[in-house]
Structure 1
Amino acid sequence: MPYPEEFTGIGVTSIDKWDSPERVTYEAKKFDPHDIDIQIDVCGVCGSDLHTVQGHWRAIRESMVVGHEIIGTVVKIGSECNSDLKIGDRVGVGAQVLSCLSCELCQEGNEPYCAEFVSCYNRPYKDGYVSQGGYASHVRVHEHFVVPIPENIESELAAPLLCGGVTVYSPLKRNGCGPGKNIGIVGIGGLGHMAILFAKAMGAEVWAFSRKSNKRNDSLKLGADHYIATSEVNDWEQSLIHKLDIVLVCASSLEHIDLDKYIKCMKIGGKIISVCVPHRDEKLTLSGFGLMGVHISNSSLGSPQEIRDLLKLVSDNDIKIWVETLPVGVKGVTEALTRLDKGDVRYRFSLIDYDKEFPRE
Structure 2
Amino acid sequence: MPTSGTTSGTTSGTTSKTYDRTRVAAWAAPASGEPLAPTTIERRAVGENDVLIAIEYAGICHSDIHTVRGDWGPQPFPVVPGHEIVGTVAEVGSAVTRHRVGDRVGVGCFVNSCRQCVNCLRGDEQFCLDGGVGTYAVTDRDGTTTQGGYSTHVVVDAHFVMSVPDGIDPAAAAPLLCAGITTYSPLKRWGAGPGKQVAIVGLGGLGHMGVKIAHAMGAEVTVLSQSLKKQEDALRLGADHYYASSDRGTFGALAGRFDLVLNTVSASLDINAYLRLLAVDGAFVNVGAPPEPFSVNPMSLIYGRHTVAGSMIGGMAETQEMLDFCAEHGIGADVEVIPASAVNEAYERVLASDVRYRFVIDTSTIG
Q: TM-score, normalised by structure 2?
A: 0.91
In the alignment, is the contact (CA less than 8 A) between 1:29 and 1:129 conserved in 2?
Answer: no
* Matched length: 347
Give RMSD over aligned pairs: 1.6
SS of equivalent residue, structure 2 residue 345 = helix
| Segments ≥4 residues shifted beyond 4 Å | none
SS of equivalent residue, structure 1 residue 213 = coil
- What residue is the counterpart of 2:364 in the other structure? 355
- Read off the aligned partner of 2:109 and give its amino acid letter: A
In the alignment, is the contact (CA less than 8 A) between 1:44 and 1:67 conserved in 2?
Answer: yes
User: Which of the numbers 266, 280, 292 marks the counterpart of 1:252?
Assistant: 266
Find out whether 1:299 has 2:311 as its counterpart.
Answer: yes
In the alignment, is the contact (CA less than 8 A) between 2:225 and 2:245 conserved in 1?
Answer: yes
User: Which of the numbers 220, 238, 245 marks the counterpart of 1:230?
Assistant: 245
Cα separation, 2, equivalents of 1:129 and 1:138: 17
Q: 5+ unaligned residues in a row in structure 2: which ranges?
A: 5-20
Cα separation, 2, equivalents of 1:195 and 1:313: 13
User: Which of the numbers 57, 82, 96 marks the counterpart of 2:110?
Assistant: 96
In the alignment, is the contact (CA less than 8 A) between 1:98 and 1:142 conserved in 2?
Answer: yes
User: Which of the numbers 255, 270, 274 marks the counterpart of 2:286?
Assistant: 274
Deviation of 1:32 (Å): 3.5
What does 1:63-212 correspond to in 2, within 5 Å?
A: 63-81=78-96, 83-115=97-129, 116-212=131-227
SS of equivalent residue, structure 2 residue 299 = coil
Deviation of 1:30 (Å): 5.7
Q: For residues 305 and 137 of structure 1, do their structure 2 counterparts lie closer, same or farther at Cα, with a shift above 3 Å needed?
A: same
SS of equivalent residue, structure 1 residue 268 = strand
After superposition, give the CA deviation of every residue in 1:126-169 in whole Å (9 maximum; x if it has no partner). 33211100000111111111011111211111001011111111
After superposition, give the CA deviation of every residue in 1:40-92 in whole Å (9 maximum; x if it has no partner). 111111111111111111321121000011011111212222x3211111111
Cα separation, 2, equivalents of 1:30 and 1:113: 28
- What residue is the counterpart of 2:70 in the other structure? 55
- What residue is the counterpart of 2:7 in the other structure? none
- What residue is the counterpart of 2:3 in the other structure? 2
In the alignment, is the contact (CA less than 8 A) between 1:29 and 1:131 conserved in 2?
Answer: no
Q: Relative contact order (alpha carbons < 8 A, sep ≥ 6): 1 or 2 greater?
A: 1
- What residue is the counterpart of 1:336 in the other structure? 346
What is the percent sequence identity of the aligned residues? 38
- Read off the aligned partner of 1:2 and give its amino acid letter: T
- Read off the aligned partner of 1:25 and give its amino acid letter: T
Cα separation, 2, equivalents of 1:154 and 1:290: 43
After superposition, give the CA deviation of every residue in 1:203-243 in whole Å (9 maximum; x if it has no partner). 000110011111111111111111110112x3322222322
In the alignment, is the contact (CA less than 8 A) between 2:54 and 2:153 conserved in 1?
Answer: yes
Q: TM-score, normalised by structure 1?
A: 0.92
